[in-house]
Chain A
Amino acid sequence: GENVEQHPSTLSVQEGDSAVIKCTYSDSASNYFPWYKQELGKRPQLIIDIRSNVGEKKDQRIAVTLNKTAKHFSLHITETQPEDSAVYFCAASKGGSNTGKLIFGQGTTLQVKP
């Protein structure tokens, strides 16, 4: 079945720097890759997602890139701010399958130091 590996597990950056989180997936049939942000004590919430027919997607300071050949995708946050501090999760799913199974990576704790 699908397996998603996420690195690093923790990341500390200075405010204004960029942060990059990387994920790899095992099932080449996966075609939907969302990223979630979870603030302390709250539920995970979607921040950006990408489908396999697209190589890159941007939304203001956040971007996601996908390399289908290598089966990895990355989250890029530019000009980081203290409010970006949270746990970030990547996930993978076969969007066209009947089951809609959604598997998450282990999470990255991002700390942005003022």
Chain B
Amino acid sequence: DAGITQSPRHKVTETGTPVTLRCHQTENHRYMYWYRQDPGHGLRLIHYSYGVKDTDKGEVSDGYSVSRSKTEDFLLTLESATSSQTSVYFCAIRGVGTEAFFGQGTRLTVV
């Protein structure tokens, strides 16, 4: 599994509640990414990190925040979940000059 784990794998939450998704790696890779996957839109970058405490916005960052306090963990937070954030979320990790490896994905449903 390339040393990357996402949790939880499935989550149902109510509109307006905060939600945190976790991505954990054991590869000591520099780069970590959060993508969302929706039909017809492919993989859209939400936020990414290029080091501890170094993060930047992606294409669809509104309504999301991230934190990376340790090399191995990259957290994605939805401060107040909305139905438009129902999606499959993928975390990916990548070393310098290497390919990106994806986690198994988290299916989030906001009702």
Contact = CB atoms under 8 A, between A and B. Distances in A.
21 contacts: A6-B42, A43-B105, A44-B43, A44-B90, A44-B102, A46-B101, A89-B42, A99-B50, A100-B30, A100-B48, A100-B96, A102-B33, A102-B48, A102-B92, A102-B100, A103-B45, A104-B44, A106-B40, A106-B41, A106-B42, A107-B43
B96 to A, nearest CB: 7
Contacts of B50: 98-100
A43 B35 CA distance: 12
B14 interface: no
B43 A46 contact: no
Given A43-B103, A45-B102, A103 B48 contact: no
A102 B45 contact: yes
Given A102-B94, A106-B40, A106-B41, 16 more contacts: A43-B90, A43-B102, A44-B90, A49-B99, A99-B50, A99-B56, A100-B48, A100-B96, A101-B58, A102-B100, A103-B59, A104-B35, A104-B45, A105-B42, A106-B42, A107-B43
Interface of B: 30-31, 33, 35, 40-45, 48, 50, 56, 58-59, 90, 92, 94, 96-97, 99-105
Nearest to A32: B97
> Chain B interface secondary structure, helix, strand, loop or mixed?
strand
A1 to B, nearest CB: 8
Contact of B56 (A46, A91, A101): A101
A101 B104 contact: no
A100 B45 CA distance: 12
A101 B31 CA distance: 8
A21 to B, nearest CB: 12
Contacts of B90: 43-44
